[in-house]
Protein backbone atom coordinates (compact mmCIF):
# COMPACT_ATOMS: atom_id res chain seq x y z
CA UNK A 1 0.00 0.00 0.00
CA UNK A 2 1.44 3.39 -0.94
CA UNK A 3 1.96 6.21 1.51
CA UNK A 4 -0.75 8.21 -0.25
CA UNK A 5 -3.38 5.52 0.23
CA UNK A 6 -2.45 5.07 3.90
CA UNK A 7 -2.60 8.77 4.82
CA UNK A 8 -5.67 10.09 6.67
CA UNK A 9 -7.05 13.50 5.62
CA UNK A 10 -5.92 16.38 7.84
CA UNK A 11 -8.19 17.20 10.78
CA UNK A 12 -9.56 20.72 10.54
CA UNK A 13 -9.47 22.76 13.75
CA UNK A 14 -12.88 23.30 15.36
CA UNK A 15 -14.63 26.56 14.53
CA UNK A 16 -14.41 29.14 17.29
CA UNK A 17 -17.63 29.37 19.30
CA UNK A 18 -19.80 32.42 18.62
CA UNK A 19 -19.11 35.19 21.13
CA UNK A 20 -21.46 37.95 19.88
CA UNK A 21 -24.85 39.02 21.24
CA UNK A 22 -26.90 38.42 18.07
CA UNK A 23 -29.75 35.89 18.42
CA UNK A 24 -31.37 33.75 15.76
CA UNK A 25 -33.41 30.58 15.56
CA UNK A 26 -36.48 28.73 14.31
CA UNK A 27 -39.97 29.01 15.79
CA UNK A 28 -42.73 26.58 14.79
CA UNK A 29 -46.31 27.91 14.73
CA UNK A 30 -48.66 24.95 15.15
CA UNK A 31 -52.32 24.23 15.93
CA UNK A 32 -55.52 22.82 14.48
CA UNK A 33 -57.11 24.35 11.37
CA UNK A 34 -58.74 27.78 11.50
CA UNK A 35 -57.25 29.05 14.78
CA UNK A 36 -55.53 31.99 13.08
CA UNK A 37 -51.94 30.75 12.74
CA UNK A 38 -51.30 32.44 9.39
CA UNK A 39 -52.88 35.74 10.45
CA UNK A 40 -50.81 35.61 13.62
CA UNK A 41 -47.58 34.97 11.72
CA UNK A 42 -48.33 37.85 9.35
CA UNK A 43 -48.76 40.10 12.40
CA UNK A 44 -45.47 38.89 13.86
CA UNK A 45 -43.71 39.61 10.56
CA UNK A 46 -45.34 43.01 10.17
CA UNK A 47 -46.38 42.14 6.61
CA UNK A 48 -48.58 39.68 4.76
CA UNK A 49 -46.79 36.51 3.70
CA UNK A 50 -49.10 33.57 4.41
CA UNK A 51 -52.50 33.56 2.71
CA UNK A 52 -55.59 33.71 4.92
CA UNK A 53 -59.32 33.08 4.68
CA UNK A 54 -62.17 32.26 7.08
CA UNK A 55 -62.16 28.67 5.81
CA UNK A 56 -60.21 25.91 7.60
CA UNK A 57 -57.21 24.27 5.88
CA UNK A 58 -56.37 27.41 3.89
CA UNK A 59 -52.68 26.80 4.60
CA UNK A 60 -51.47 23.66 2.81
CA UNK A 61 -47.69 24.10 2.86
CA UNK A 62 -45.01 24.79 5.44
CA UNK A 63 -43.72 28.34 4.93
CA UNK A 64 -40.84 30.17 6.61
CA UNK A 65 -41.41 33.83 7.48
CA UNK A 66 -38.17 35.59 8.40
CA UNK A 67 -38.16 38.58 10.76
CA UNK A 68 -34.77 40.29 10.92
CA UNK A 69 -33.62 43.23 13.06
CA UNK A 70 -30.23 44.63 14.09
CA UNK A 71 -30.25 42.41 17.20
CA UNK A 72 -32.03 39.20 16.18
CA UNK A 73 -33.52 37.07 13.41
CA UNK A 74 -36.63 34.96 14.09
CA UNK A 75 -37.55 32.35 11.48
CA UNK A 76 -41.24 31.58 12.00
CA UNK A 77 -42.55 28.37 10.42
CA UNK A 78 -46.22 28.59 9.45
CA UNK A 79 -47.79 25.15 9.14
CA UNK A 80 -51.02 23.56 7.87
CA UNK A 81 -53.55 22.91 10.59
CA UNK A 82 -53.18 19.49 12.21
CA UNK A 83 -56.45 17.62 11.71
CA UNK A 84 -57.81 14.16 12.45
CA UNK A 85 -59.25 13.34 9.04
CA UNK A 86 -56.75 11.76 6.64
CA UNK A 87 -59.18 10.45 4.05
CA UNK A 88 -57.21 11.86 1.11
CA UNK A 89 -53.56 12.05 0.15
CA UNK A 90 -53.58 15.83 0.44
CA UNK A 91 -54.75 15.59 4.07
CA UNK A 92 -51.94 13.18 4.88
CA UNK A 93 -49.48 15.54 3.17
CA UNK A 94 -50.67 18.51 5.25
CA UNK A 95 -50.37 16.58 8.51
CA UNK A 96 -46.83 15.48 7.56
CA UNK A 97 -45.91 19.07 6.73
CA UNK A 98 -47.26 20.25 10.09
CA UNK A 99 -45.57 17.49 12.10
CA UNK A 100 -42.20 18.11 10.42
CA UNK A 101 -42.17 21.62 11.90
CA UNK A 102 -41.32 20.09 15.30
CA UNK A 103 -37.89 19.11 14.01
CA UNK A 104 -34.84 21.27 14.76
CA UNK A 105 -36.67 24.28 16.19
CA UNK A 106 -35.81 26.35 19.25
CA UNK A 107 -39.34 27.03 20.48
CA UNK A 108 -42.90 26.00 19.59
CA UNK A 109 -45.91 28.33 19.53
CA UNK A 110 -49.11 26.33 19.99
CA UNK A 111 -52.08 28.44 18.86
CA UNK A 112 -55.53 27.67 20.30
CA UNK A 113 -58.83 29.51 19.99
CA UNK A 114 -60.11 31.24 23.11
CA UNK A 115 -63.05 29.35 24.62
CA UNK A 116 -62.82 26.39 22.25
CA UNK A 117 -60.86 23.17 22.93
CA UNK A 118 -61.54 20.37 20.43
CA UNK A 119 -60.38 16.81 19.83
CA UNK A 120 -57.96 18.19 17.25
CA UNK A 121 -56.50 20.59 19.85
CA UNK A 122 -56.04 17.63 22.16
CA UNK A 123 -54.31 15.65 19.40
CA UNK A 124 -51.84 18.52 18.89
CA UNK A 125 -51.32 18.71 22.66
CA UNK A 126 -50.43 15.01 22.70
CA UNK A 127 -47.71 15.63 20.09
CA UNK A 128 -46.33 18.43 22.27
CA UNK A 129 -45.75 16.07 25.23
CA UNK A 130 -42.49 14.87 23.72
CA UNK A 131 -41.01 18.31 23.03
CA UNK A 132 -37.51 19.04 24.31
CA UNK A 133 -37.79 22.78 23.57
CA UNK A 134 -39.93 25.46 25.26
CA UNK A 135 -43.66 25.43 24.48
CA UNK A 136 -45.56 28.72 24.45
CA UNK A 137 -49.36 28.51 24.20
CA UNK A 138 -51.02 31.43 22.41
CA UNK A 139 -54.72 31.80 23.22
CA UNK A 140 -55.95 33.62 20.12
CA UNK A 141 -59.17 35.53 19.37
CA UNK A 142 -59.45 37.03 22.87
CA UNK A 143 -61.23 40.00 21.25
CA UNK A 144 -64.37 37.82 21.42
CA UNK A 145 -64.45 38.53 25.16
CA UNK A 146 -65.42 41.85 26.74
CA UNK A 147 -63.65 41.01 30.02
CA UNK A 148 -60.57 38.82 30.53
CA UNK A 149 -62.05 37.15 33.63
CA UNK A 150 -64.62 35.53 31.32
CA UNK A 151 -61.71 33.57 29.82
CA UNK A 152 -60.45 32.15 33.14
CA UNK A 153 -62.61 28.95 33.17
CA UNK A 154 -61.31 28.04 29.71
CA UNK A 155 -57.69 28.69 30.71
CA UNK A 156 -58.11 26.54 33.81
CA UNK A 157 -59.60 23.69 31.78
CA UNK A 158 -56.89 23.97 29.14
CA UNK A 159 -54.16 23.92 31.80
CA UNK A 160 -55.28 20.42 32.76
CA UNK A 161 -54.82 19.19 29.18
CA UNK A 162 -51.34 20.50 28.39
CA UNK A 163 -48.13 21.49 30.17
CA UNK A 164 -46.52 24.64 28.81
CA UNK A 165 -43.71 27.05 29.64
CA UNK A 166 -45.65 30.23 28.97
CA UNK A 167 -49.21 31.23 28.10
CA UNK A 168 -50.03 34.46 26.26
CA UNK A 169 -53.55 35.73 25.45
CA UNK A 170 -53.43 37.34 22.00
CA UNK A 171 -55.52 38.64 19.14
CA UNK A 172 -54.02 38.19 15.69
CA UNK A 173 -56.79 40.39 14.29
CA UNK A 174 -56.10 43.42 16.54
CA UNK A 175 -52.39 42.55 17.01
CA UNK A 176 -52.83 42.50 20.79
CA UNK A 177 -49.99 40.63 22.53
CA UNK A 178 -47.69 40.53 19.46
CA UNK A 179 -44.88 42.42 21.24
CA UNK A 180 -45.10 40.03 24.20
CA UNK A 181 -44.72 37.00 21.93
CA UNK A 182 -41.50 38.37 20.44
CA UNK A 183 -40.05 39.10 23.90
CA UNK A 184 -40.82 35.58 25.14
CA UNK A 185 -39.47 33.95 21.97
CA UNK A 186 -36.19 35.85 22.30
CA UNK A 187 -35.70 34.33 25.76
CA UNK A 188 -35.52 30.93 24.02
CA UNK A 189 -33.31 31.69 21.01
CA UNK A 190 -29.57 30.92 21.04
CA UNK A 191 -26.88 33.50 20.48
CA UNK A 192 -25.62 32.90 16.98
CA UNK A 193 -25.26 34.63 13.64
CA UNK A 194 -28.25 35.19 11.36
CA UNK A 195 -29.40 32.06 9.55
CA UNK A 196 -30.65 33.84 6.40
CA UNK A 197 -29.41 36.99 4.62
CA UNK A 198 -30.96 40.12 6.13
CA UNK A 199 -33.06 40.92 3.05
CA UNK A 200 -34.82 37.52 3.03
CA UNK A 201 -38.48 37.47 4.13
CA UNK A 202 -39.19 33.83 3.22
CA UNK A 203 -37.59 30.66 1.90
CA UNK A 204 -40.27 30.36 -0.78
CA UNK A 205 -39.97 31.57 -4.37
CA UNK A 206 -42.01 34.39 -5.92
CA UNK A 207 -43.55 31.81 -8.25
CA UNK A 208 -44.84 29.81 -5.27
CA UNK A 209 -46.16 32.92 -3.49
CA UNK A 210 -47.95 33.93 -6.69
CA UNK A 211 -49.78 30.60 -6.84
CA UNK A 212 -50.77 31.03 -3.18
CA UNK A 213 -52.21 34.49 -3.86
CA UNK A 214 -54.44 33.09 -6.62
CA UNK A 215 -55.52 30.23 -4.35
CA UNK A 216 -56.38 32.70 -1.60
CA UNK A 217 -58.83 34.43 -3.92
CA UNK A 218 -60.40 31.04 -4.65
CA UNK A 219 -60.79 30.35 -0.93
CA UNK A 220 -62.34 33.73 -0.29
CA UNK A 221 -64.67 33.92 -3.30
CA UNK A 222 -66.08 30.41 -3.47
CA UNK A 223 -68.45 28.37 -1.34
CA UNK A 224 -67.64 25.60 1.10
CA UNK A 225 -67.00 22.71 -1.30
CA UNK A 226 -65.07 23.98 -4.32
CA UNK A 227 -61.96 25.45 -2.58
CA UNK A 228 -60.99 22.08 -1.11
CA UNK A 229 -61.20 20.45 -4.53
CA UNK A 230 -59.08 23.08 -6.22
CA UNK A 231 -55.43 24.04 -6.48
CA UNK A 232 -53.31 26.40 -8.57
CA UNK A 233 -50.41 25.63 -10.90
CA UNK A 234 -48.26 28.41 -12.41
CA UNK A 235 -47.60 27.42 -16.02
CA UNK A 236 -45.76 30.57 -17.12
CA UNK A 237 -43.83 33.02 -14.97
CA UNK A 238 -41.49 35.31 -16.87
CA UNK A 239 -40.54 38.98 -17.12
CA UNK A 240 -41.07 40.63 -20.50
CA UNK A 241 -38.34 43.24 -20.82
CA UNK A 242 -39.94 44.83 -23.89
CA UNK A 243 -43.26 45.40 -22.15
CA UNK A 244 -41.62 45.91 -18.72
CA UNK A 245 -44.03 43.59 -16.92
CA UNK A 246 -44.41 40.06 -15.62
CA UNK A 247 -46.35 37.58 -17.77
CA UNK A 248 -48.07 35.02 -15.56
CA UNK A 249 -50.35 32.18 -16.62
CA UNK A 250 -52.06 30.36 -13.75
CA UNK A 251 -54.03 27.13 -14.13
CA UNK A 252 -56.80 26.47 -11.61
CA UNK A 253 -57.36 22.73 -11.24
CA UNK A 254 -60.66 21.33 -10.01
CA UNK A 255 -61.89 17.76 -9.65
CA UNK A 256 -65.28 17.90 -11.38
CA UNK A 257 -66.87 19.63 -14.36
CA UNK A 258 -69.50 21.23 -12.14
CA UNK A 259 -66.74 22.86 -10.08
CA UNK A 260 -65.22 24.32 -13.23
CA UNK A 261 -68.46 26.12 -14.07
CA UNK A 262 -68.68 27.49 -10.52
CA UNK A 263 -65.11 28.86 -10.65
CA UNK A 264 -65.72 30.54 -14.01
CA UNK A 265 -69.05 31.99 -12.87
CA UNK A 266 -71.86 33.43 -14.90
CA UNK A 267 -70.44 34.90 -18.14
CA UNK A 268 -66.95 34.54 -16.62
CA UNK A 269 -67.61 37.21 -13.98
CA UNK A 270 -66.27 35.26 -10.99
CA UNK A 271 -62.93 34.24 -12.49
CA UNK A 272 -62.50 37.79 -13.82
CA UNK A 273 -63.07 39.24 -10.34
CA UNK A 274 -60.62 36.76 -8.77
CA UNK A 275 -58.04 37.64 -11.41
CA UNK A 276 -58.41 41.37 -10.73
CA UNK A 277 -57.94 40.93 -6.99
CA UNK A 278 -55.04 38.50 -7.41
CA UNK A 279 -53.27 40.76 -9.90
CA UNK A 280 -53.24 43.65 -7.40
CA UNK A 281 -51.61 41.50 -4.70
CA UNK A 282 -49.11 40.00 -7.15
CA UNK A 283 -48.10 43.50 -8.29
CA UNK A 284 -47.41 44.38 -4.65
CA UNK A 285 -45.42 41.17 -4.23
CA UNK A 286 -43.27 41.66 -7.33
CA UNK A 287 -43.25 45.46 -7.20
CA UNK A 288 -43.87 45.58 -10.94
CA UNK A 289 -46.63 45.59 -13.54
CA UNK A 290 -48.29 42.22 -14.09
CA UNK A 291 -50.27 40.59 -16.89
CA UNK A 292 -52.19 37.69 -15.31
CA UNK A 293 -54.23 35.10 -17.18
CA UNK A 294 -56.31 32.43 -15.40
CA UNK A 295 -57.62 29.17 -16.85
CA UNK A 296 -59.67 26.39 -15.28
CA UNK A 297 -59.11 22.70 -16.00
CA UNK A 298 -60.68 19.51 -14.64
CA UNK A 299 -58.17 17.01 -13.21
CA UNK A 300 -60.18 14.27 -11.58
CA UNK A 301 -59.14 13.05 -8.14
CA UNK A 302 -55.94 15.15 -8.06
CA UNK A 303 -56.19 15.60 -4.26
CA UNK A 304 -56.01 11.83 -3.66
CA UNK A 305 -53.32 11.03 -6.24
CA UNK A 306 -49.77 10.94 -4.83
CA UNK A 307 -48.12 11.42 -8.24
CA UNK A 308 -50.42 14.30 -9.14
CA UNK A 309 -49.75 15.97 -5.78
CA UNK A 310 -45.99 15.66 -6.25
CA UNK A 311 -46.18 17.20 -9.72
CA UNK A 312 -48.21 20.10 -8.29
CA UNK A 313 -45.60 20.89 -5.63
CA UNK A 314 -47.10 19.04 -2.68
CA UNK A 315 -43.77 17.61 -1.60
CA UNK A 316 -41.28 18.17 1.21
CA UNK A 317 -39.04 20.11 -1.19
CA UNK A 318 -39.07 23.91 -0.90
CA UNK A 319 -39.98 25.79 -4.09
**Over its length of 319 residues, how does the chain's per-residue pLDDT go in tens digits?**
444 445 556 666 666 778 899 999 999 999 998 899 999 999 999 988 988 887 777 778 888 999 999 999 999 998 888 777 666 788 887 777 777 777 889 999 999 999 999 999 998 999 899 899 999 999 999 998 888 888 899 988 888 889 999 999 999 888 999 999 999 999 999 999 999 999 999 989 999 999 999 999 998 888 766 767 889 999 999 999 999 999 999 999 999 999 999 999 999 999 999 999 999 999 999 999 999 999 999 999 888 888 888 887 877 666 6
Residue 199 is assigned to a structural domain of this protein: no
Please check whether residues 172 and 212 belong to one and the same domain. Answer: no
Residues 240-251 have pLDDT tens digits of: 999 999 999 999
pLDDT at 319: 61
Phi, psi of 201 (to 5 degrees): -115, -15
List the strands of the sheet with 245-254, edge to edge: 231-240, 245-254, 290-298
pLDDT at 8: 57
The answer to whether residues 29 and 111 touch, using CB atoms and an 8 Å cutoff, is yes
Please check whether residues 32 and 157 belong to one and the same domain. Answer: yes
Q: What's the rounded Cα separation, in Å, for the pair 131 and 139? A: 19
pLDDT at 82: 79
pTM of the shown model: 0.85
pLDDT at 1: 46
Q: What's the rounded Cα separation, in Å, for the pair 154 and 142? A: 11
Please check whether residues 154 and 222 belong to one and the same domain. Answer: no
Residue 250 is assigned to a structural domain of this protein: yes
Please check whether residues 180 and 249 belong to one and the same domain. Answer: no
Please check whether residues 306 and 266 belong to one and the same domain. Answer: yes
Residue 17 is assigned to a structural domain of this protein: no
User: Where in the sequence is the domain holding 271, given as residue range(s)?
Assistant: 206-311
Total tally of structural domains belonging to the chain? 2
Residue 8 is assigned to a structural domain of this protein: no
Please check whether residues 143 and 264 belong to one and the same domain. Answer: no
Please check whether residues 174 and 280 belong to one and the same domain. Answer: no
**CATH code for position 210:** 3.30.300.20
pLDDT at 13: 62
Please check whether residues 70 and 179 belong to one and the same domain. Answer: yes
Please check whether residues 215 and 259 belong to one and the same domain. Answer: yes
Residue 4 is assigned to a structural domain of this protein: no
Residue 194 is assigned to a structural domain of this protein: no
Residue 3 is assigned to a structural domain of this protein: no
Please check whether residues 241 and 145 belong to one and the same domain. Answer: no
Spell out where the chain has E strands. 23-30, 63-68, 72-78, 107-113, 135-140, 166-169, 231-240, 245-254, 290-298
Please check whether residues 100 and 136 belong to one and the same domain. Answer: yes
**CATH code for position 41:** 3.40.50.300
Residue 70 is assigned to a structural domain of this protein: yes
Amino acid sequence: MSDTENTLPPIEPPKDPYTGDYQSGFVAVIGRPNVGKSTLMNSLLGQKLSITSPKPQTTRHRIHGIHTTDTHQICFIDTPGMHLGESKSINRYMNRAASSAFEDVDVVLFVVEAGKWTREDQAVAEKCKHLTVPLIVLVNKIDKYKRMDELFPFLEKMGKNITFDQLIPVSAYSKSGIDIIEKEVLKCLPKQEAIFPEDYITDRSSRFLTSEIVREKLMRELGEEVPYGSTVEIEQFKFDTEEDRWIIHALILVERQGQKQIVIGKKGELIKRMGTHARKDIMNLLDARVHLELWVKVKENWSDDERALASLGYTDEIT
